[in-house]
Structure 1
């Protein structure tokens, strides 16, 4: 399974990001530090932060989280099946 997050911005543009495990771990660590609770307690905020970190890691974003969040109109988190490959084939 691959997590994909589609972000719609207030200006009408959108982009889709695939968070890496590093982005997921950084979002989890930040949520604990900020006392947001678990992903079950604060799924929207944690998924937004995960998308934000993924965009920063990829070099597509350099603004602070709150400034970026002010531009976000909505998000859609999906889990996509990944094709299994045989590495010995």
Structure 2
């Protein structure tokens, strides 16, 4: 008997056994948990979008004040020192 046949036989034996009883409130607990996960994901997504918007605004304000695209003024060389 090969490994695949042995696993298939094991699965068939497990499926032939009587199925365990399911708790009556399983659906309610699953729905509550799903709702909690959905609320957490929505909150996390909202926080990330807020953080992204704040970062874009902060960058825009910095760029409007600092003018990073402007060429800095050319500095002249100091006058030569006489010895």
Instruction: Report TM bin, short chain.
Output: under 0.3
**Structure 1 or 2: more strand by fraction:** 1
TM-score for both structures, normalised by structure 1: 0.22
TM-score for both structures, normalised by structure 2: 0.23
Q: Which has the higher contact order (CA 8 A, sep 6+)?
A: 1
Q: Which has the larger radius of gyration?
A: 2
